[in-house]
Amino acid sequence: MHVESLLPFWEATLGEFFDVWGVRLSSECLAAYCVGDDAVVTVYVDGRHVSGDPRLVPLRDHDSIAVVFGTPAEQPTSFPGFDWSHFR
């Protein structure tokens, strides 16, 4: 995705991205799926778990963001990397 703003210090967030698409995102719910029966909403940035409010995750150049809903056993154990050097 590409993000631009006329405001010099504005930083887009994952929550704003989901709002544009009309999809619910919170620490409790991803779209129609809400926590329960050990299922949770988890966010990973570049393969690293991000704690806290997923809506506040900043959208930065070349970040790989995964939003996952499921039980701990369903969480990914690794993430594929991406070589951005071909696009610079």
Domains of the chain, by residue range, sit at 26-73
Name the residue among 61, 40, 60 with its Cα closest to residue 51. 40
pLDDT of amino acid 9: 82
pTM: 0.84
pLDDT digits (tens), the chain, 88 positions: 777 777 888 889 999 999 999 999 999 999 999 999 899 999 999 999 999 999 999 998 888 899 999 999 998 888 887 777 777 6
Query: Which pLDDT score, from 0 to 100, does residue 86 have?
Result: 78
Query: Residue 10's CB: how many other CB atoms inside 10 A?
Result: 11
**Two tokens, residue 16:** 């704003």
